[in-house]
Amino acid sequence: MISQAIFFVLILVGVVLFSRNVKKIIRNIRLGRPENRSDNPSERWKKMLKVALGQSKMVARPVPAVLHLMVYAGFIIINIEILEIILDGLLGTHRVFASPMAGFYNFIIAFFEGLAIAVILACAVFLIRRNILKVSRFKGIEMQSWPKSDANYILIFEIALMVAFLMMNAADYKLQQSGVGHYIKAGFFPVSSMFVGWLPSEHGPLIFTERFFWWFHITGIFAFLNYLPYSKHFHIIMAFPNTYYSKLEAKSTINNMPVVTNEVKAMLDPSFTPEPVEVSRFGAKDITDLSWKNLMDAYTCTECGRCTSECPANITGKLLSPRKIMMDTRDRLEEVGNNIDKHGKEFNDGKALLDNYISREEIWACTTCQACVQACPVNIDPLSIIMELRRFAIMEESKASPSINTMFNNIENNAAPWKYSPADRFNWATK
C-alpha cells in the first residue's frame, strides 16, 4: 500500500505540474491578436494527419526522416505500455494486461523491445551527427548554450528511458524463469533476454534491480513530460494543433490589413462605405502585435534548422536565420509571460521583439522566397512574422531600407518598381 500511495502521489504531482505549465503556454499564445483559422475543418484534419502524424515533409531528407521515424514511432508506441505500468502501480498488480491479451501480449512486448532498440540506435546516430560529424544546419549563433545542450539532453534521456525499459524486462524475464513470487510467465523478450547474464542471480538483488528500473522508467516518463514545456521537444505535442491551424491558402498569400483595404476601396469607389475596423498598430513591434498563430508557431519550432539551411539570404552570408526568428519570438514571449506572472499584465519592461531581439538587418535580408515555409516539417511560417515587423517599420516609423524606399519612389513616380517611364515599359518586346 505504501508503494501504491507513493505511485499515486507521483502521478498527481506530474500531471498537476504539466497542466500548470501547459496552461501558462496557452495563456501566452492567447496574448496574440485574433485570427480566424477555424475554416474548412475537413481539410485541416487531412493536413494535420498528413504532415504531423504522417510526417510527409520529413522525407525531403531521407536519412534524418528514417531516423526520426524510428524515434517518433518507437517512443510514442512503446509508451503505450505506460498504461499497464500505471495500472500496476495503482492496483498493486504485475503485468495486468498479460491475462486479457493472452498470446497477443507476447507479440506486443517483443514489438516494443524491437522499437526500443531502434530508438536507442537512432538517438545514438543523432548524437554523432550533432557532436562528432557536426552537421552544418545544427550550427548558428542561435544554437549556442542552452539550445545546443537541450538537444543533447533529450537524446541522452530517451536512450536512458529505453535502456531502463529493456533492463526492467530483462530482470522480469529472469524472475519469471526462476518462478519468484508474483512474476508470472508473460511476454516474449527477444532483446532483453540477451542481457540476463549481466544481472544478479540472487532473488533479492534481482527483485531490487527489476523494481529499480521499473521506477526509473515511469519516474523518467513523468520527468520527461514536465521537461517538454521548457524544451524544443515540446513539438511532439504542438505539431498536431500547429499543422491543423496552418495556412490553407497558397504559401505566397499575404494577408491584407482590413483598414488599408478599406482606404484603397474608398479611393477607387467614392460611394464605398467601409466597416469600422479597430487598429491599434500597423504591423508588429512586439509579440502582442502578432497573431496567436504566430505565437503558436514559436512554441512549435523544433530548432531543426531546415528553414535556415534552405534560406538563400543565410546561405549567402546574410544575418537572417529563420530559425532564429522563431526562437527569438519564443524567447520574447516567455519573457513577457514571466513579466505578467511577476508584475501583472500591464507591466512594460521597455523591450520589444523588434530591435531588442530581432534586428532591422535581419528582416530586410529576407527575399520572401518562401523557402523557409516550404522546408519546415511542421508548417511553421517565419515569413509571416518578418512581414509584420516590416509593416511596422514602414507604416508606423517610415523606416525602410534604401532599396525599398527607391522602389516606393519609382512606384509613385512611374507606376512601376523600375526607374523609367511607363511609356517605355514594353520596349523590350521590340528588340
- Position 74 scores a pLDDT of 81
Q: Show the cell assigned to 218.
A: 515511469
Residue 394 has pLDDT above 70, yes or no: yes
* 239 and 263 inside one domain: no
- Position 137 scores a pLDDT of 92
* 292 and 193 inside one domain: no
HEC secondary structure over 293-327: HHHHHHHHCCCCCHHHHHCHHHHCCCCCCHHHHHH
Domain that holds residue 337: 258-421
Dist CA 315 CA 286 (whole Å):
27
State pLDDT tens for residues 256-297.
888 888 888 888 888 888 777 777 788 999 999 999 999 999
Dist CA 362 CA 353 (whole Å):
12
Q: Return the closest-CA partner of residue 15 out of 216, 222, 154, 218.
A: 222
* 231 and 103 inside one domain: yes
Give the helix ranges, DSSP H, for 228-280: 235-244, 258-268
* 284 and 332 inside one domain: yes
* 322 and 190 inside one domain: no
Dist CA 139 CA 148 (whole Å):
9
> Does a structural domain hold residue 252?
no
- End-to-end Cα separation, the chain, in angstroms: 92
Dist CA 429 CA 14 (whole Å):
71
- Position 431 scores a pLDDT of 64
> Does a structural domain hold residue 272?
yes
The sign one gets for the Cα dihedral 125, 127, 131, 136 is positive
Span 201-214, average pLDDT? 92
Residue 359 has pLDDT above 90, yes or no: yes
| pTM (predicted TM-score) | 0.90
> Does a structural domain hold residue 251?
no
Dist CA 137 CA 232 (whole Å):
16
* 216 and 112 inside one domain: yes
Residue 381 has pLDDT above 90, yes or no: yes
Q: Which range has highest mean pLDDT (101-105, 280-284, 322-326)? A: 322-326
- Position 120 scores a pLDDT of 95
State pLDDT tens for residues 32-42.
999 999 999 99
> Does a structural domain hold residue 43?
no
Q: Return the closest-CA partner of residue 247 out of 98, 87, 108, 374.
A: 374
Give the lowest-confidence range in 52-56, 98-102, 416-420: 416-420
Give the lowest-confidence range in 17-21, 316-320, 395-399, 412-416: 412-416
Q: How confident is the model at residue 302 (pLDDT cuts 50, 70, 90)?
A: very high
* 240 and 268 inside one domain: no
> Does a structural domain hold residue 35?
no
Give the lowest-confidence range in 113-117, 260-264, 303-307: 260-264
Choosing from 191, 210, 244, the residue where a domain stops is 244
CATH number, domain containing residue 398 = 1.10.1060
Yes or no: say if 136 and 168 are a contact pair by the CB < 8 Å rule. Answer: no
Span 121-126, average pLDDT? 95
Domain count, the chain: 2
